[in-house]
Amino acid sequence: MQTLEVELGDRSYPIHIGSGLLENGALMTPYLAGKQSLIVTNETVAPLYLDQVRAALGTEAQAVVVPDGERFKSLETANQVYEALLRKRYGRQTTLVALGGGVVGDLTGFVAATYQRGVAFIQIPTTLLAQVDSSVGGKTAVNHPLGKNMIGAFHQPRCVIADTDTLTTLPDRELKAGLAEVIKYGLIRDKLFFSWLENNVGSLSRRDATALTRAIEQSCRDKAEVVAADEREHGERALLNLGHTFGHAIETATGYTQWLHGEAVAAGMCMAASMSTRLGWLPEAEFHRIEQLLAVAGLPIAPPSDIGPERFRELMGVDKKNRDGRLRLILLQDIGRAVISDDFPEDALTSTLERYSQRS
């Protein structure tokens, strides 16, 4: 087992990464706020891992099972969890346990942040995407039909337990979607890691345990360092959103039903890289390296064909990074060097959106 620390003073917490961790109650019980705990999971994960986690907690842990899918990351689903808490008369010493992928983690964290003005929660991510990204950093949210993650709060977990064994039951499509977020870390701040990914993407796709553990550990290390430096996204943390403004537009346009988050981010990173090349920042050869790695990982490198430039602009206008009505994008000056910019020629964005509309 590898253990990393998210350094946030008295709110610091560990990230445990390794095999067989779901059965290790000693990793979970020190972080329970009291005797009451509620596991939030979904219909896919519950039959696989709910009994293990219940046994590991060593308490009379209750559970609520929500539907599976991004479209269920909503206020309506959050209300199901609130009702379960209220009916069981759970108080402020309750601990919520998020057992599942990014949707379950974001939803559970949001409920934990808002139930009785904030209760403790633990993240137990069971997808690659959640293990390398969404479970770390305390961003919690639900979606709205007009925009993704627009209703949320910052609320840090007490610990993160990433059991790599859960990846053996992960569908291939979900594994590939997780690789998009892994590749993102190489693009924004770690060129050596990007090169390692180019050489090891085949092993990752084949679920080689050593390669996956290395990728998860490095991704979490990068994320933990960024979060410690900028917890509430006033500056550097926004770099973690490379490709997300384009990607969130894709998810919203398709009703959160057709594309997985990682797939949309992959296409969005290609669009951001293409725009960076158009601005003269990113060399053409590096852009092709990015496209090639994402393609070899089995990820899309272009958005759906039915989202035109105007629809993209409309949806990108509903983005948390925007300031005073100005669109802010994460762009690349090189592989491993990302920047936040709202000072770019309008025609560069227009040309990028038009190019991808025609390309799709």
- Domains of the chain listed by start with CATH number: 2-169 (3.40.50.1970), 172-359 (1.20.1090.10)
> Is 223 a known active-site residue?
yes
* Exposure b/e, 208-239, CB count within 10 A at least 16 = b: eeebbbbbbbbbbbbbbebbbeebebeebbbb
Q: Which of 87, 89, 117, 234 is catalytic?
A: 117
pLDDT band, residue 326 (cuts 50/70/90): confident
How does residue 317 score in pLDDT terms, banded at 50, 70 and 90? confident
Catalytic residue chosen out of the listed positions 237, 278, 320, 328: 237
Task: Select which of 139, 176, 184, 278 is catalytic.
Answer: 139
Per the residue annotation, which of 42, 143, 149, 241 is the catalytic one? Answer: 241
Give the type of residue at 207: R
Q: Is 155 among the residues known to form the active site? A: no
pLDDT of residue 358: 76
Output the pLDDT for position 306.
Answer: 86
Express each pLDDT in 119-163 by its tens digit: 999 999 999 999 999 999 999 999 998 888 999 999 999 999 999
Task: Calculate what percentage of the chain has a pLDDT beyond 90.
Answer: 90
How distant is the alpha carbon of residue 3 from its chain centre?
20
Question: What's the Cα-to-Cα distance from 343 to each of 20, 260, 331, 339, 346, rounded to whole Å?
Answer: 48, 30, 11, 11, 9
Confidence check: pLDDT of 76 > 60: yes
Asked if 234 is an active-site residue, the reply is: no
Q: In this model, does residue 56 exceed pLDDT 90? A: yes
CA dist 244 and 262 (Å) reads 9
> Of residues 181, 217, 263, 286, which has the active-site annotation?
181
Active site residue 237: yes
pLDDT digits (tens, 9 = 90+) for 259-270: 999 999 999 999
Share of the chain above pLDDT 70, in %: 98
Residues 238, 207: Cα–Cα separation, whole Å: 30
pLDDT in tens, 243-284: 999 999 999 999 999 999 999 999 999 999 999 999 999 999
